[in-house]
Structure 1
């Protein structure tokens, strides 16, 4: 295990808790962008794998998530979150200006990554999207209710490895409460913005990973979104039987091997 260096910086909604997993021989910079309700403390094994692929790894808990400031699970403006990602990335590049950047976004973090690439195309060398929320998301149907029902994320949807769901349910830094209307409304706006902005272009290598048994983020819904932004450099992998958290699935070694092969082709560092 590679111990992270923990640090803080100012984000749009308060202090952001960031982590860096160092690699003195790094050939590229991996920016981890986590999903809804969770935090980067759940990504130690992901960072270890990425360092093994030749990356310096960095990331921060989003506003309202993990150890960062803000009301829990409340995001009112995802464009500001994208700007926070750029602040983290810029700080990491300050000491490593020549490293090519690969965004690694999971779930909601996948949407944030795509929006970042739309806004800052010259800063991104490649992108890995794990079960990204794109196009549409059935959870946004909760906005139709006058009062949002108390329907938190079901830990059973995360992985066939039951220990993953148990650890998620017991994690005090994970948000276990209901979805909040401003967050859902802001996410709906983000998805619309992505879909009607420019495509990612043919020069950007992108790897989309999804499980065909993902009940939290349906692959067909995501495909509707990827079809609007994908370029010629877009690749995809579907894993039979896999649920939402591919980095925590029973075939995680296969997933990491696919990422290693992709980054070896995509990153010239």
Structure 2
């Protein structure tokens, strides 16, 4: 596991905890944005592959998540989370000016990354989306139609075929194990619409990774968003039998290899 540094930034709604997996002489920067209810510390595996490939890696805990400020899992406006992520990119660029920047987002982080690319795409060299919440994701609408949000947390078994992944998730004190909250669901619905209406990312190279047994963010609904977001430079890799977290799956090494092959093709040499 690579060495980790900790930073704290002033975010839109309080302090934002940032993890850095440093590289002594990086050739590019990677910004990793995590999913709903989790935190940046769950991305040590991806960060290790990226630092081994020449990246300095940075990842915030979003507001209401991990070690950052805010009521747990409450995000009232994803535009503010994008702004916080951009501040993390500025931190990375101030330490390593002039390097290409790669953005990788998983699940809810895929929604954040998509919106980031629409707002700041000119600053990016590549975009990677894993099981992204984009397109026709129906869960927010279904839950918001109910008088009360049911207390049904994310099932650890839905994450990966590897039972150790679910066990670690269930035991992680920085992971939220309670119900979703109405303000966050409302923000999801608004931002899904904003991404759908926000246009494509033009010539920005886009890699989309998804498990075909993803029950949390079903493949067909996400495909709509990935194809709409792409400006014609979409690379996709669908993993047979994989569940929601391809970077924690039993064939995760294939997912890591796909990421590195994509970056080898797209980053300047």
Q: Normalised by the size of structure 1, how large is the TM-score? A: 0.98
Q: Which residue of 2 is the match for residue 262 of structure 1? A: 262
Q: Which residue of 1 is the match for residue 42 of structure 2? A: 42
Instruction: Show the 5 A alignment for 1:77-156.
Output: 77-140=77-140, 141-156=142-157
CA distance in 2, matches of 1:81, 1:60: 10
Structure 1 unaligned segments of length 5 or more: list them: none
1:138 deviates by 3.1
Deviations 1:5-57 (A, max 9, x none): 01101111110110111112211100010000000111111111111111110
Q: Which residue of 1 is the match for residue 160 of structure 2? A: 159
CA distance in 1, matches of 2:15, 2:150: 30
Structure 2 unaligned segments of length 5 or more: list them: none
SS, match of residue 7 in structure 1: strand
SS, match of residue 96 in structure 2: coil
1:211 deviates by 0.5
Q: Which residue of 2 is the match for residue 53 of structure 1? A: 53
SS, match of residue 79 in structure 1: helix
Supply the RMSD in Å over aligned alpha carbons: 0.9
1:76 aligned onto 2:76: yes
Deviation beyond 4 Å, 4+ runs, structure 1: none
CA distance in 2, matches of 1:160, 1:93: 37
Q: Between Structure 1 and Structure 2, how many residues are aligned?
A: 268
Deviations 1:191-210 (A, max 9, x none): 10000112111x11110000
Q: Which residue of 1 is the match for residue 231 of structure 2? A: 231
CA distance in 1, matches of 2:190, 2:181: 15
CA distance in 2, matches of 1:21, 1:176: 27
1:139 deviates by 2.1
Deviations 1:204-252 (A, max 9, x none): 1110000001111101010121232211211100000000001100001
Q: Which residue of 2 is the match for residue 182 of structure 1? A: 183
1:121 deviates by 1.6
1:242 aligned onto 2:249: no
CA distance in 2, matches of 1:177, 1:17: 22
Q: Which residue of 2 is the match for residue 207 of structure 1? A: 207
1:20 aligned onto 2:54: no
Contact 2:28/2:55 (8 A) holds in 1: yes
Q: Which residue of 1 is the match for residue 9 of structure 2? A: 9
Contact 2:227/2:234 (8 A) holds in 1: no
CA distance in 2, matches of 1:137, 1:170: 28
Q: Which residue of 2 is the match for residue 217 of structure 1? A: 217
